[in-house]
Structure 1
């Protein structure tokens, strides 16, 4: 380990603040920084949480400290409930928090299913309410960053990443934000496996949005091999496609894939196989509860493992949590900015004309060249008619949810839900919105007056104060 310490001595020390440091994902992040210490020497890693998460912060923070000690690195892991202390002078701020913790997600999924809608934390009604709870907190973090670390990059892994990034880009002046998801990197690894090549030789063209994108070209050693990849994809059994652990793998027809001339991210199962996904979610609910309840049990087991004073590595069981390749996505983008690598990664950023079918200022998920100045989107051009319609639908949804989050307009929120294919009834949209709004009253101040009564007027002057 001495060699690692010596090789990093000449590099500028890096301070990172992780908001939501008590997350079960944190060991993934710590492992990623340990692996990259030679080129990206994180000297201070501050894990931040709220009082409700203090116990988890101590447990996972203890494991993080043991991991660093076992690696023999001069990385200081600090645990705190004081966000401002952690942000002061930070070079990067990573966010991985859940407002209301898993109990809030359980309510989202249960109430949506009760009304016959898919309950999933980044899609439809459940995704909307997670965004409504999250966006005001992200804005608070940005206010602190403007004061305490104005040159830092905000690297957000908090779902729904696309809506959060859209809100920041549209309603604040902060532009140093990168949204992250492990779906693109998982697909890249999958394509490499199908084509029997090293993942480093594979580059993808992405067209679309977070959890709603398509792979529209694949380059191996710099040469397009998309026709071969597409045919290979059509021939593979569903169990080899590598869908996310929280999504039922439903094989799409060869006609659909060939008609799209694109490979959809697995989350599009909710939109292309809505009936089947809803039926499966209802069966799962009857058998063992909603997905959030399963995750809660997995997390409880993980934290029991984390308590073991002899444990000093990321446990294998963390993969069951659904965060595979998180550290690759988060740590790689930080390492590439620090070292001005100019490599290609897949992130959520401001469009800036990369996808001509979408607004310049909106968030997109695409391949970017990662430089010392941040991500530079690689042009995709105009979306094909086969995928443009569904992408435009979700972008409208994202924009309206962001507007509702910052203005407190229930009207806009209901209109957003009706615009989403996962809700096919105005009446149901109103019912599910009202019930979810009441269930999360404590986390939705934008929809309520100070006395707790419903707020109907828009709050544009207050909500857009950051612009």
Structure 2
């Protein structure tokens, strides 16, 4: 087989390498072309050198090109994969820093909440540019695979306004299933059969069978509470399981910021989170992790390049969906996964226009979703709150309507639990002004926002959050890695 895959945001070096090696685990794909594109020529050079080394070490005919010219990369591509972060860590820092001034403590801030909504405002105009280029220069039947957050908003914009065949992909479901299999004592995650449905990052395990035996709420609660690690790291998730009756796919930290109950007061935050790793609820945890990872990769790049000389091992193929979707579409080997698509009746008690995440099967006829799923009422209600925020956020990003943007932020569950309308209005003005360079649709609204800020009497505070950690230096990271290696 010979076709072209374009990766937008290929400067996300580690993730691009994972997707690349996954795809080359499919024997029929050795003759394909990868076209890498990114706004950073420096990062493109780094990833191309790594992928070239992999191709050389495995004696493959695979072609790898790299360019900052996106249309050139997309020309003739059958598949387009996006893993972009518009504004990079600079804009992301404001997604965390500014809401903290108004008492909003986020762990990640990339899906909804104040940070996720502004992230969507930056991404959606760029997503629509991608879609225009795909329609104009890519293969006629091109498929757009979006990995970028905010997943639901980006996918919603690409389908509804970009008019491109799009599927959103995430790995939260797989990770949640691995946890459940472990606490239930399974020898392999393959022993667990599950139905997971909802919206991205708020997906629910509504059906569980271990080796054919149905698993109920009480057994699952007992298994998690007995686990020596998860009982401490996933306290909030376990509490939601007890109250809702089903387990959420999303990590303790992520889930905490999508709900109005657990991060509304500093003392409540420290009660429900765990500081053993950022993903369990640390304030701005993913920002710290991302900053450290970037610095570490820059410093340790020669070691990463050397590691690329090892043979590809198909047994180590990751559980990311992309390579398996491509394999199913191209070879007709059927793949079952969980995909982000427009609802259109798949989940009976969520809106038709919403982007849902639910089970589907892939073969040469495309992605075929399992329709007619009904969520438990509490799960549907929680999803609905986020869907309404996502819908307003997408419409605001398309229209550049700053008043609609403020209403979207106001209706966010955590923001609404913490902040007053006056605080929300000022916070959004402050965030839009700070991120103006990435928000072209709000250009006409920014002068008035600046004027309002100059006259505002809403009080703010400089607050690091309830559970903030400092970014570690390369030396600290190296010492910690060495200590762990010695201990292991």
Q: TM-score range by the shorter chain?
A: 0.7 to 0.9
Q: SS state of the match for residue 97, structure 1? A: coil
| SS of corresponding position for 2:80 | strand
**Equivalences for 1:101-180 in 2 at 5 Å?**
101-119=88-106, 120-149=109-138, 150-174=140-164, 176-180=165-169
Structure 2 residue aligned with 1:71: 58
SS at match of 2:153: helix
TM-superposed CA distance for 1:445, in Å, is: 0.9
**Cα 1:256–1:55 shift into 2, 3 Å:** closer
Give the Å deviation of 1:59. 1.1
Equivalent residues of 1:59, 1:303 under 8 A apart: no
Cα deviations by residue, 1:399-422 (Å, 9 ceiling, x for unpaired) = 010000001111111111111111
Cα 1:163–1:310 shift into 2, 3 Å: closer
1:394/1:107 CA distance change after superposition, 3 Å:
same
What is the DSSP-based 3-state SS (H/G/I as helix, E as strand, rest coil) of the residue aligned with 1:357?
coil
1:131–1:163 contact (8 Å) kept in structure 2: yes
Match 1:358 to one of 330, 334, 350: 350
State whether residues 389 and 408 of structure 2, in contact with CA within 8 Å, keep that contact through their aligned partners in structure 1. Answer: yes
Shift of 1:236: 3.8
Distance in structure 2 (CA, Å) of the matches to 1:434 and 1:326: 42
Q: Match for residue 376 of structure 1?
A: 368
Q: Is contact 2:25–2:317 with CA below 8 Å preserved after alignment? A: no
Q: Which runs of 4+ in 1 moved over 6 A?
A: 324-327
Gaps of at least 5 residues in structure 1 are 1-11, 242-247, 316-323, 456-467
Name the CA shift for 1:26/1:255 in 2 (closer, same or farther; >3 Å).
closer
Q: Is residue 391 of structure 2 the alignment partner of residue 396 of structure 1?
A: no
What is the total number of aligned residue pairs between the two structures?
A: 424
Tell me if the contact between 2:127 and 2:157 (Cα under 8 Å) persists in the aligned partners: no
Query: Which residue number in structure 2 is paired with residue 441 of structure 1?
Result: 436
The CA deviation at 1:260 is 1.2
User: Using a 3 Å threshold, how does the CA distance of structure 1 residues 198 and 92 change in structure 2: closer, same or farther?
Assistant: same
Match of 2:227 among 219, 233, 237: 237
Q: Deviation of residue 256 (structure 1)?
A: 4.3
Unaligned runs of 5+ in 2: 311-315, 450-488
Aligned residue among 399, 402, 407 for 1:407: 399
2:296 corresponds to which of 291, 301, 322: 301
Residue 24 of structure 2: SS of its match in structure 1?
helix
Q: Does 1:21 align with 2:16?
A: no
Residue 55 of structure 1, aligned match among 39, 42, 45: 42
Deviation at 1:250, TM superposition (A): 4.1
* Counterpart residue number, 2:474: none
Partner-residue secondary structure (3-state), 2:141: coil
Distance 2:24 2:329 in 1: 17
CA distance in 2 between counterparts of 1:391 and 1:153 reads 27
- 2:20 aligned with 1:30: yes
Q: TM-score, normalised by structure 2?
A: 0.79
